[in-house]
Chain A
Amino acid sequence: MKEKVYLIGMGEYKIASNPTTLVSSGIGSCVVICLYDRTKKIGGMAHAMLPQTPEDYKIDDDEEDGARYVDRAVQLLVSNMKSLGCDSSNMMAKIAGGANMFSTLGTYSREIGENNVEMTKKILAEMGIKLVAESTGGTTGRSVEFNLITGVVSIVTKL
Chain B
Amino acid sequence: MSLNQKLSLEVTEKLNHISEVAGRNASEALSKLTDQKLEVVIMGFEVVSIEDINDVLDADDVVTAVYLEIKGDLNGGIILAFPERSSLSLVDILLKKSDGETVSIDDMAKSVLKETGNILAGNYLAALSNYLKLNALESIPDITSDSAESIMNSLAIEISRHSFEALLFKMNFVVDKAVIKGQMIIFFDSDSAKKMIDALK
Which residues of A pack against B, CB within 8 Å?
9-12, 25-30, 49-50, 68, 99-106, 108-109, 112-113, 139-143, 158-159
Asked whether A28 lies within 8 Å of B139 as measured between CB atoms, the reply is no
In the complex, what's the smallest C-beta–C-beta distance from B157 to chain A, in angstroms?
4
For the complex, give the distance between the alpha carbons of A49 and B53 in Å: 12
**Dominant secondary structure of chain A at its interface with chain B:** loop
Residue A29 contacts which of B142, B149, B154 (CB distance < 8 angstroms)? B154
Shortest beta-carbon distance from A97 to chain B in Å: 9
Lowest 5 A-B CB distances belong to which pairs? A141-B150, A26-B149, A28-B154, A28-B153, A104-B142
**DSSP class of B's interface residues: helix, strand, loop or mixed?**
helix
Q: Which residues of B contact A100 (CB under 8 A)?
A: 154
Tell me, in angstroms, the Cα distance from A141 to B59 when the chains sit together: 15
Distance of A27 Cα from B148 Cα, bound (Å): 10
| Other-chain contact of A26, B139, B142, B144, B147 (Cβ < 8 Å) | B147
Q: Are A112 and B51 in contact (CB under 8 A)?
A: no
Shortest beta-carbon distance from A1 to chain B in Å: 30
CB distance from B152 to the nearest CB of A (A): 7
List, in ascending order, chain A residues with CB within 8 A of B144's CB.
101-102, 139
B145 close to A (CB within 8 Å) = yes
Cβ < 8 Å to A, chain B residues 154-177 = 154-158, 160-161
A-B residue pair count with CB separations less than 8 angstroms:
103
Number of interface residues of B (CB under 8 A): 29
| Residue with the greatest number of chain A CB neighbours at <10 A, chosen from B150, B151, B155 | B150
B161 neighbours in A (Cβ, 8 Å): 106, 108-109
Give the complex CA separation of A12 and B158 in angstroms: 19
A-B pairs with beta carbons under 8 Å apart, 28 shown: A12-B51, A25-B147, A26-B152, A26-B153, A28-B150, A28-B152, A28-B153, A29-B157, A49-B156, A49-B157, A99-B154, A100-B154, A101-B144, A101-B151, A103-B142, A104-B67, A104-B139, A104-B140, A106-B158, A109-B161, A113-B154, A140-B146, A141-B151, A141-B154, A142-B150, A158-B62, A158-B147, A159-B145
Is B157 within 8 A of A50, CB to CB? Answer: yes
Expressed in whole angstroms, the minimum distance between the Cβ of B22 and any Cβ of chain A is 23
- Once A102-B67, A104-B139 are accepted as A-B contacts, the answer to whether A141 and B157 lie under 8 Å apart by CB is no
Once bound together, how far apart are the Cα atoms of A103 and B110, in whole Å? 14
Q: Which residues of the other chain, A, contact B112 by a CB distance below 8 angstroms?
A: none
Q: Which chain A residues border B12 with CB–CB below 8 Å?
A: none
CB distance from B115 to the nearest CB of A (A): 15
Chain B 31-51 near chain A by CB (<8 Å), digits 1 or 0: 000000000000000000011
Assess A109 versus B157: contact at CB under 8 Å? Given A10-B51, A11-B51, A158-B61.
Answer: yes
Contacts of A141 in B (CB 8 A): 146-147, 149-151, 153-154
Contact B142 A112 (CB under 8 A): no
A100 to B158 CA separation, bound complex (whole angstroms): 11
